[in-house]
Structure 1
């Protein structure tokens, strides 16, 4: 039975490790992360509206209870 030649395994493993590291670093470099609330610019100007934005309940005809 022939013996498995493992003489090149060390070189192969030692060259693939830096290559995998570089590939993962390049992929992480291209990712964009959300900014934390502390880093956001707090000096934003709010629009000067004459109404106040608020939540309103919209009653549609099909959402009302049925009348018998």
Structure 2
């Protein structure tokens, strides 16, 4: 029964690991990574509205207490 030749296993395994590492790096290079939004200065925002910027309360007739 012939013996198993293991002399090339180290080279084969190291080459495989190097190849897997390079493939993984190439895949990560092509990915789009999340980028945080740019910070905006709140003083520079322009509000272009036609109404008064105040809170108003709307009372509907059915929400008032009934009077007899």
TM-score (norm 2): 0.51
Distance (Å, rounded) in 2 between the aligned partners of 1:46 and 1:3: 81
C-alpha deviation, 1:49, in angstroms: 5.4
Map Cα deviations across residues 17-57 of structure 1 (whole Å, 9 max, x no partner): 211111100100111112124xx252696684547xxxxxx
Residue 40 (structure 2) aligns with: 42
- Bigger helix fraction: 2
For the pair shown, the structure with the greater C-alpha radius of gyration is 2
1:32 aligns with 2:32: yes
Q: Which moved more, 1:3-12 or 1:41-50?
A: 41-50
Give the direction of change, closer, same or farther, for the CA distance of 1:14–1:46 in structure 2 (3 Å limit).
farther
Structure 2 stretches of 5 or more lacking a match? 52-68
